[in-house]
Amino acid sequence: MGFFPALNFWLPFFLVALFLLFKKKRLAKNEPNHVPPSPPKLPIIGNLHQLGPLPHSSIRRLSQKYGPVLLLKLGRIPVVFVSSAEAARQVMKVNDLASCSRPPLAGIGKLSYNHLDVVFSPYSEYWRQIRKICVLELFSVKRVKSFKFVREEEVASLMNSISESSSSATPLNLTSKIFALTGSIILRVAFGKCFEESDDLDRDRFYELIHDAETVAARLSAEECFPEFGWILDKLNGHNERVERVFKALDTFFQGVIDYHLKPGRTKQHDDIIDVMLGIEKEQIEQGHVWLTKTHIKAILLVSC
């Protein structure tokens, strides 16, 4: 007997709530949808389960199904992928100011001394100043031509090595030789040192360090995807320790080559990239306005590697 009066009391509220729910869905359906198409997501992990061992292949398959502009949720991180020339033109040319800064990821932030380099620094006055130094001083046409003798000497050394191996019928690992050529040119142009002159870093260790740095820079940490509990996963899989180890190794190497350049009476054939940046720092000290410090120099050297 008491059930029906209670039902009559709550029925108007239920009908009003039902009406508002249908009205909200109708308005949402009529509103223009500016969000790119996205495949179905799972709670917490988003679309991570749809990325296989080759993420670029997985994204290509998803783009073929959902279109050239695709939205994926990597944990809590929304990421938009473009896979057509027109979409890339819209992003990189028409809307370049809105999309020119890279996301501040923890791994590359640590390696670049809190994004002080020219590649991962956000678009700002600081980035414009660093880019100006790189364009006019470090990577200008005149500077590149000035290191012609380095490239010629290293290529000649490679050809002599190939010739000796050929005359003695000794098998030659050409891939290793090409990597050695590239590494030698980078070391001499950027740091003014050859592998043979480096006591603190041999060729194999140099390649290993660069490979580790690339791996750390390209990897998302679990804490970035899952801020509530991701730090536990990073602790268990050793990600944080790996980042710290690579950073300390790079910092030690960069500090070593800077100290090498600051040695009094050092003989040199040509001003390398570190000489140029140390010269800029010295000029700023004399002018009383220093913003390019040795920490900034180390961050810029990361690009040279």
Q: Read off the pLDDT of residues 209-240 as tens digits, 9 standing for 90 and up.
A: 888 888 888 787 888 888 778 888 888 888 88
Residue 180 lies in a domain: yes
Domain span holding position 66: 36-99
230: tokens are: 């991701």
Identify whether residues 94 and 173 lie together within a single domain. no
**296 and 181, same domain (yes or no):** yes
Band (295; pLDDT cuts 50, 70, 90): very high
Among 99, 115, 136, the domain-final residue is 99
**CATH classification of the domain holding 229:** 1.10.630.10
| 192 and 300 belong to one structural domain | yes
Query: Is residue 12 domain-resident?
Result: no
**pLDDT above 90 as % of the chain:** 8
67 and 174 co-located in one domain? no
The better pLDDT of the pair 276, 103 is held by 276
Co-location of 234 and 136 in the same domain = yes
What residue has token string 């290191």? 147
Domain match, 52 and 148 both:
no
- What would the 3-class secondary structure string for 27-94 be? HHHHCCCCCCCCCCCECCCECHHHCCCCHHHHHHHHHHHHCCEEEEEECCEEEEEECCHHHHHHHHHH
Q: Are residues 271 and 164 in the same domain?
A: yes
* The total number of structural domains that make up the chain: 2
In the chain, % of residues over pLDDT 70: 84
pLDDT level of residue 3 (50, 70, 90 thresholds): very low
Same domain, 54 and 201: no
pLDDT digits (tens, 9 = 90+) for 62-75: 999 999 999 998 88
Shared domain for 142 and 91, answered yes or no, is: no
